[in-house]
Chain A
Amino acid sequence: MKLHMLAHSRTGDKGDTSNISIIAYRAEDYPLLCEQLTAERVAEFFAGLRELDAPPVRRYELPSVQGLNFVLPGILRGGVTRSLALDAHGKCLGSALLDLDLITPT
């Protein structure tokens, strides 16, 4: 199952760092997200986009809103102001992450 079926997302930017929220629609799905959406998995999903020497992806939990916050340093390649990217803010990153496959209990 795609993450898109269970959660929604918004992406913010500060300097050359993006933060991506992943928020479960239903409280009962939150433990599954916590278990499967590790910082390493998110780092791997965006591997081609991040600078090779970028600091690791960090994950924060916000249980009261069934949310996870992923902080990705070095993914905006010099930041909004210098980047050559079409989406220099990285605003579209969160929507892409919703394409992740989840293993759901049958």
Chain B
Amino acid sequence: MNTLRIGSGAGYSGDRIEPAVELAEQGDLDYLVFECLAERTIALAQQVRISDPQGGYDPLLGERMHRVLPFVGRLAGRRRLRVITNMGAANPLAAAIEVRRIAAELGLGLKVVAVVGDDVLHALPGEQLLDNGQTVASLGERLISANAYLGVDGILEALRVDADVVITGRVADPSLFLAPQMFEFGWAADDWQRLGRGTLVGHLLECAGQVSGGYFADPGFKDVDDLACLGFPLAEVDADGHALITKVTGSGGRISRATCAEQLIYEVHDPAAYLTPDVTADFSQVGFVEENVDRVRIQGADGRARPEQLKVSVGYLDGWIGEGQMSYGGPGAVARAQLARDVVLKRLELMGVKMQEVRAELIGIDALHGQRSSVEPWEVRLRVAARCEERSEAVRVGNEVETLYTNGPSGGGGASKNVRQVVAVASLLLPRESVKVRIEV
């Protein structure tokens, strides 16, 4: 294979579906990758699985597969297209069963392989420290999930047994994209420079539309055409890992040096040491060259030996957040909202609502970054939020905001309130050997 074509079909669980279908149909792709797991997604999915043993995978798995599977496999006159995704979330085995069912329903003979082994919930040493300073044992019944960030190994094995669709749980995001490059070009697991380059391709693609003009527009400064029909990106990669980023001709959005530079640095700390389970990638000397409209060449990625330990993301229940909001408008809106804020805080104190932390702010004035401007807005919205150990206490926060209707300053409107359970995430490191990856065909 001279040039490998890898597309990005999702940047998060709830992402748009049509751009992925556009890529599957018109992208002339070898691989379409869906990255759908944010830090906390697996912990939430694990809660679903507890109440439904056949659930716990991505809620949009079925719809995505219905739409793209007709283009997957060996079809006359087209490249063979395969799908790799972490939409298995907390239950890759059940997700694979669902994808096999959909393929059969569509009359397609596709091989669907699950990668498992990331779930280490029952293998954690109780005395192990989390990055928040607590031990695993201290979480007790509140511990709900623990998933190791796997690298390319399981996906490589699935591709070797000729999978058309590979379904994983937690895998490091760039590894989903690095695996097909290693498989197609036969890169060794210690070919650090090529692995570093392939990891950069994955890093640039993993958030889908964020490199092709999404999350970029700033009218008058950075303009982007047709965001409503944003095209998702694809990479053309050669056997040495040299690559360029582009998208389907005619799709919305824009790929430029600037869009690539923003995504290069996104969620990176030290650019010379971007850690994944497969390699320590070095992005510090990376540059971009615009070869043509929406075609940007990547230069200068490198890599060094991979880390010895694997990161594990641990999900645990951490109480409840109760919240209420109310709007004020017209002359004196800010003064009335400030009075409303004082009233609610006083009430929460008088009623003895048990809160661990409370926050009261005026949206439009100081909610995002503290007060930075003295310009008085026409409208402002009070927001009060508190974290409580008990749900019954959290409920009272929103209720107190709502009672501003008949008890607070004049002219409050549009009250809203909600309560949600806090699923917190912490992390720890495990030796590689204690994580056993396998595939299920």
- Whole-angstrom distance from the CB of A94 to the nearest CB of chain B? 9
Kindly state the separation between the CA atoms of A78 and B318 in the bound complex, as whole angstroms: 12
Interfacial residues, chain A to chain B (CB-CB below 8 A): 4, 8-10, 12-15, 17, 19, 21, 23, 25, 46, 48-49, 58, 60, 62, 64-67, 69, 71, 78-82, 84-87, 92-93, 96, 99
- Return 5 A-B CB contacts under 8 Å, by A number: A12-B265, A14-B269, A48-B370, A65-B261, A93-B369
Q: Which residue of B lies closest to A9 (CB)?
A: B262
Given contacts A79-B425, A81-B423, contact A10 B266 (CB under 8 A): yes
Given contacts A19-B267, A62-B283, 7 further A-B contacts (CB under 8 A): A14-B269, A15-B427, A23-B261, A49-B370, A62-B265, A81-B40, A96-B369
A29 to chain B, nearest CB (A): 13
Q: CB distance B266 to A21 under 8 Å?
A: yes
Residues of B within 8 A of A12 (CB): 265-268
Chain B, interface SS category: mixed
**Nearest chain A CB to B312's CB is how many angstroms away?**
13
Q: Chain A nearest CB: distance from B104 CB in Å?
A: 38
Residues in chain B within 8 A of chain A (CB atoms): 39-40, 131, 215-216, 218, 221-222, 257-258, 260-272, 283-288, 299-300, 318, 321, 357-359, 361, 363, 367-370, 372, 383, 385-387, 422-425, 427
Given the known inter-chain contacts A19-B269, A65-B257, A71-B269, please indicate yes or no for A49 contacting B218, CB distance below 8 A. no
Q: Which residues of A contact B387 (CB under 8 A)?
A: 82, 84
Among A10, A58, A66, A82, point to the contact of B424 (Cβ < 8 A).
Answer: A82
Complex Cα gap A46–B131 (Å): 24
Q: Which residues of A contact B271 (CB under 8 A)?
A: 60, 62, 69
Question: In whole angstroms, how far apart are the Cα atoms of A79 and B270 in the complex?
Answer: 19
A96 touches B372 (CB 8 A): yes
Q: Is the CB of A87 within 8 A of B368?
A: yes
Residue of B nearest to A10 (CB): B262
Structural contact, B424 and A86, CB atoms closer than 8 A: no
Closest A-chain residue to B423, C-beta based?
Answer: A81
**Nearest residue in A to B131 (C-beta to C-beta)?**
A15
Q: Which residues of A contact B266 (CB under 8 A)?
A: 10, 12, 19, 21
Q: How far is the CA of A66 from the CA of B385 in the complex (A)?
A: 40
- A-B pairs, top 3 by smallest CB distance, nearest first, are A12-B267, A64-B287, A21-B265
Give the distance to chain B from A86, nearest Cβ to Cβ, in Å.
Answer: 5
Closest B residue to A96 using CB positions? B369
Q: Are B318 and A82 within 8 A (Cβ)? A: yes
CA–CA, A66 and B265, complex, Å? 11
Which of chain A's residues have a CB closer than 8 A to the CB of B285? 64
B383 touches A64 (CB 8 A): no
Q: How far is the CA of A25 from the CA of B58 in the complex (A)?
A: 39
Measured CB to CB, the closest approach of chain A to B126, in angstroms, equals 22
A79 and B426 alpha carbons, distance in the complex (Å): 9
By a CB distance below 8 angstroms, the chain B residues around A14 are 39, 267, 269
In the complex, what residue of chain B is closest to A82 when comparing beta carbons?
Answer: B424
| Chain A residues whose CB sits within 8 angstroms of the CB of B383 once the complex forms | 86
Whether the pair B372, A99 counts as a contact (CB closer than 8 A) is yes
Cα distance A48–B371 in the bound complex, in angstroms: 10
- B264 and A65 form a contact (CB under 8 A): yes
Task: Determine the distance from Cα of A38 to Cα of B372 in the docked complex, in whole angstroms.
Answer: 21
How far is B371's CA from A49's CA once the two chains are assembled, in angstroms?
11
A71 to B, closest residue via Cβ:
B269
Task: Specify which of A19, A23, A79, A96 is in contact with B268 (CB 8 Å cutoff).
Answer: A19
When C-beta atoms are compared, the residue in chain A nearest to B325 turns out to be A86
Find B368's partner among A4, A8, A84, A92 (CB 8 Å cutoff): A92
Interface centre among B299, B363, B425 (most CB of A within 10 A): B425
A84 touches B215 (CB 8 A): no
A12-B268, A17-B269, A65-B287 known; A23+B39 contact, CB < 8 A:
no
Q: Is the CB of B286 within 8 A of A84?
A: no
Chain B residues near A4: list those with CB within 8 A: 221
CA distance A15 to B288 in the complex (A): 29
Contact status A62-B286, CB under 8 Å: yes
CB-CB under 8 A from B267, the residues of chain A are 12-14, 19
**Counting chain A CB atoms within 10 Å of each CB, which of B361, B368, B385, B423 scores highest?**
B368
B369 touches A65 (CB 8 A): no
Interfacial chain B residues near A78, Cβ < 8 Å = 424
- The answer on a CB contact under 8 Å between A86 and B363 is yes
Q: How far, in angstroms, from A92 to B261 measured CA to CA in the complex?
A: 18
